[in-house]
Amino acid sequence: MISVVILGAGNVATHLFKAFNKAENISVIQWFNRHLDPIIQYNKTVDVTDDLNTLKDADIYIIAVSDDAVGKLSEQLPFENRLVVHTSGSVNVYDLDKKHKRGVLYPLQTFSKTTEMDFAYVPICIETLDKKSYPILKKLAVSIGSPTKRVNSDQRSVLHLAAVFVNNFTNQLYRIGHEITESEGAEFDLLKPLILETAKKIQDLSPYMAQTGPAKRNDKKTINRHLKLLTNEHHKETYKLLTKSIQITHGRKKL
C-alpha cells in the first residue's frame, strides 16, 4: 500500500484525490490546504489539515499548487529526506527544496473540478533525481490506470508549452467561433461534430497532413470574404495571424 499526502486543493489535487481514493493499493492518509474550506467536505473520507506541522508520515508527498507556490511550500515542509513531488508542467524539479528526495508527477491533461476524469486518458510524465524514487511513482500512476512516460525537465517544459497551444489556445478559438456564430444567431452546436472529427483525424495523420482550408489552398477570395465578414477587430487579427501561420507552414508565404 502506497501512502500519500496531498498538498493543495485545486483542480489537479481534487482529481488526484478522487482517483487515488478509488485505487486498491493507494491510501491518501492526509490532505493539506492553507484554507480548509475547499477540502472540508472530504473530512469524512480523509484527514484534512491546514497546519503543516501536523503532516503525517507518508511514502509520497504530492504538491499540487500554483507554479509560483511550489518552491516555497516545499521549503516549509517540516521534514527532510522524504519523497516530495510536484505536478506542474513548467516548474523545474530543482525548484523543490534540496532537503527532499525530489520528483515530478505531471498529469498531461486539462482538469476542471466539475468534469469527471478517466485517468486511462491521462498520461503521467515522471521525473526523479534518484533512480530509487522512479519505481514507486510509476506504480502510483499505473495504479490509477494512467499510461506513464519518463521525461526530463526540458522535455516536460516543451510538452507543457505545446499543451498550451493544443488546449488553451484551441479552446480560445472555440470561444471565438462561439462568438462569431452568436453574432448571427447560428447554432454553435452544429460545429461540434467538426471539432470531434478534427481531433479524431490526428490520431492517424500528422497535423501537417491533416490541415485543410482556404489558408492551405491559398484561396485568397475566400480569405478576403471571411475578413470582410469579421466585424470584431480582435477576431480579424486572430484570423490573419493564423492564416499567415498556415500559409508559411505549407509554403504559401515566406517568413
- pLDDT score at 254: 72
Residue 230, all three cell numbers: 469579421
Concatenate the DSSP letters of all residues of 94-107 into one string.
GGS-TTSEEEEEEE
- pLDDT score at 181: 96
- pLDDT score at 161: 96
Side chain identity at residue 102, one-letter code = R
Which of these, 115, 63, 116, 120, lies nearest to 87 by C-alpha position? 63
Task: Name the strand (E) or helix (H) holding 175.
Answer: helix 170-183
Residue located via cell numbers 498520461 = 123
Question: Tens-digit pLDDT profile for the chain (255 aa)?
Answer: 999 999 999 999 999 999 999 999 999 999 999 999 999 999 999 999 999 999 999 999 999 999 999 999 999 999 999 999 999 999 999 999 999 999 999 999 998 888 888 999 999 999 999 989 999 999 999 999 999 999 999 999 999 999 999 999 999 999 999 999 999 999 999 999 999 999 999 999 999 999 999 999 999 999 999 999 999 999 999 999 999 999 999 987 776
Task: Please name each of the domains of the chain with its CATH number.
Answer: 2-151 (3.40.50.720), 156-249 (1.10.1040.20)
What are the residues facing 150 on neighbouring strands? 126
- Integer Cα distance of 123 and 146 in angstroms: 6
In degrees rounded to 5, what are phi and psi of residue 101? -80, 120
Q: CA geometry: angle at 186 spanning 185 and 191, to 5°?
A: 150
Which of these, 25, 28, 64, 24, lies nearest to 46 by C-alpha position? 28
What are the residues facing 127 on neighbouring strands? 104
DSSP E strand boundaries for the chain? 2-7, 26-32, 48-49, 60-63, 83-86, 101-107, 124-128, 148-150
- pLDDT score at 255: 66
- Integer Cα distance of 33 and 10 in angstroms: 9
- pLDDT score at 88: 95
Q: Can you give 198-209 as a three-state secondary structure string?
A: HHHHCCCCCHHH
